[in-house]
Structure 1
């Protein structure tokens, strides 16, 4: 129900429902899921500090159960990185993007599509801080994976090429 409310942009109702669910006894997995959704909700409302707080609760819970480099933690690290990126806190964004990527490297095949997102996000941070050579390096990694895994006319192939081209032209 909360997911549906989020989808339709009814953030207040979704938040109310998720908070009610937190009041009931849960296992840690359910609690982490609700905190994750609350983090997404706060991110959509541009309440970044609150979003980070919820995502950190997810990490706190999930670090108890799976190993520190469990694949299920990578999206939470990435989302915290996205929020810090939106807040122009590039050093923290990079830290969380890198942690997500490190987990992916241990748990996924090297051409998995999640790497293109990670490399693209890291490239954007380097572009934002003016390290264009490093940004280009990550955009090229994105393009390499896309070329290996997608048809040449796929729109995602264009994303990497566009990012690299705009970087070269700027």
Structure 2
């Protein structure tokens, strides 16, 4: 069998676009990273079920790029899509939910929507305790951020 002659399937190409987007993000080339993530999303949308966790990951990546580019409203929209998929496809104490609630809190803080930010930060703490246990460093990190938000009100 000639493995070199094997053509990649579309989902492998989507993974490549995602990886390229990540490298471009690390280089600060946000517009190019966004394009690469959007190409990955387009492929995934046509080949995966609508609530596949891989879609959530790509939506989250796109949201992060929008936030880094200063468009927190668009980032928020992508983070909400991420959360919707995760809530349908992951256990309620999955660590990815901690991250997504944290990202939502940060985007809401950037938009000066502190009450909503606190709600998501509290949810991140609660899920982190359930996922990791109360003495885990991730719980401490999330609690510190929540305390910071509460002081901003």
Q: Give yes or no for TM over 0.5.
A: yes
Report the Cα offset of residue 25 of structure 1: 4.3
Structure-2 separation of matches of 1:166 and 1:149: 22
Q: Give the alignment's TM-score, normalised by structure 1.
A: 0.82
Structure 2 contact 11–47 (Cα < 8 Å) conserved: no
Equivalent position of 1:40 in the other structure: 22
Runs of 5+ in structure 2 lacking a partner? Answer: 1-5
User: Which of 76, 89, 93 in structure 2 is aligned with 1:111?
Assistant: 93
Structure-2 separation of matches of 1:65 and 1:151: 37
Summarize deviations over 1:108-136 as a string: whole Å, max 9, x none: 11111110000000000111111110000
Equivalent position of 1:91 in the other structure: 73
Q: Does 1:56 align with 2:38?
A: yes
Structure-2 separation of matches of 1:169 and 1:70: 37
Structure-2 separation of matches of 1:91 and 1:84: 8
Alignment size in residue pairs: 147
Q: Give the alignment's TM-score, normalised by structure 2.
A: 0.91
Q: Does 1:27 align with 2:19?
A: no
Runs of 5+ in structure 1 lacking a partner? Answer: 1-23
Report the Cα offset of residue 146 of structure 1: 1.5
Structure-2 separation of matches of 1:75 and 1:157: 22
Structure-1 separation of matches of 2:150 and 2:88: 32
SS at match of 2:135: coil
Structure-2 separation of matches of 1:63 and 1:48: 22
